[in-house]
Chains A and B, each alone.
Chain A
Amino acid sequence: MKSSFKELFQLHEKVAVVTGALGILGRQFSSGLAEFGANVVIVDVDEELCKQFAKQLSDQYKVKCFGIGCDVSSPQQVKNMVKRIIEKYKKIDILHNNAATKTSDLKAYFTAFEDYDLAQWRDVMAVNIDGMFLAAQQVGKEMVKQKKGTIIQTSSIYGIIAPDHRIYEKSHYLGTTINTPAVYAASKAAVWGLTKYLATYWAEQGIRVNMLTPGGMESGQNEKFKQNYSYRTPMARMGNPDELVGALIYLASDASSYVTGQNMIVDGGLSIW
Chain B
Amino acid sequence: MNALSDLFSLKGKTALVTGGAGYLGSEISITLAELGARVIIASRDIKKCKDKCNEINKQLGNDCDIHFLELDLMKKKSILHCFKQIDLQFGGLDILVNNAWSGNKNSFESITDEDWEYDINMSLNSVFYCIKRALPGLKKNKGVILNITSMYGHVAPDYRIYEGTEFTNPPSYGVAKAGVIQFTKYLASFLAPDHIRVNCLSPGPFPHEVTQHNQEFIKKISSKNPLNRIGKPHEIKGAVALLCTDASSYMTGQNICVDGGWSIW
Q: List chain A positions with a Cβ less than 8 A from chain B.
A: 161-164, 234, 269, 272-273
Contacts and interface: CB of A to CB of B under 8 A. Distances in A.
A234 to B, nearest CB: 7
A142 B156 CA distance: 43
Contacts of B156: 234, 269, 272-273
9 shortest interchain CB distances as A-B pairs: A162-B265, A273-B156, A162-B264, A272-B156, A273-B158, A164-B265, A161-B265, A273-B155, A161-B264
Nearest to A167: B265
A174 to B, nearest CB: 24
Interface string B155-168: 11110000000000
B5 to A, nearest CB: 35
A30 B263 CA distance: 34
Contacts of A269: 156
B226 interface: yes
Nearest to B158: A273
Interface of B: 155-158, 226, 261, 263-265
Given A269-B156, A272-B156, 16 more contacts: A161-B263, A161-B264, A161-B265, A162-B226, A162-B261, A162-B264, A162-B265, A163-B265, A164-B226, A234-B156, A234-B158, A272-B155, A273-B155, A273-B156, A273-B157, A273-B158
Contacts of A273: 155-158
A164 B227 CA distance: 11
Nearest to A163: B265
A162 B158 CA distance: 17
B33 to A, nearest CB: 36
Contacts of A162: 226, 261, 264-265
A234 B261 CA distance: 18
Contacts of A161: 263-265
B263 to A, nearest CB: 8
Nearest to A272: B156
A47 B155 CA distance: 45
A80 B219 CA distance: 57
Nearest to B264: A162
A189 to B, nearest CB: 12
Nearest to A232: B265
6 contacts: A162-B265, A164-B226, A164-B265, A234-B156, A269-B156, A273-B156
Contacts of B261: 162
B150 to A, nearest CB: 13
B32 to A, nearest CB: 32
Contacts of A163: 265
A273 B156 CA distance: 4
Contacts of B263: 161
Nearest to A236: B160
Nearest to A157: B265
B116 to A, nearest CB: 21
Contacts of B264: 161-162
A163 B264 CA distance: 8
A161 B225 CA distance: 12
Contacts of B265: 161-164
A273 B161 CA distance: 12
Nearest to B262: A273
A162 B261 CA distance: 9
Name the residue among A162, A164, A234, A273 with the largest chain B CB count within 10 angstroms.
Answer: A273
A272 B262 CA distance: 11
A145 to B, nearest CB: 38
A164 B223 CA distance: 10
A126 B155 CA distance: 34
Contacts of A234: 156, 158
Nearest to A161: B265
A101 to B, nearest CB: 24
Nearest to A231: B160
A180 B156 CA distance: 24
- Of B155, B226, B261, B265, which is in contact with the most chain A CB atoms at under 10 Å from its CB? B265
A161 B262 CA distance: 10
Nearest to A166: B223
A27 B212 CA distance: 50
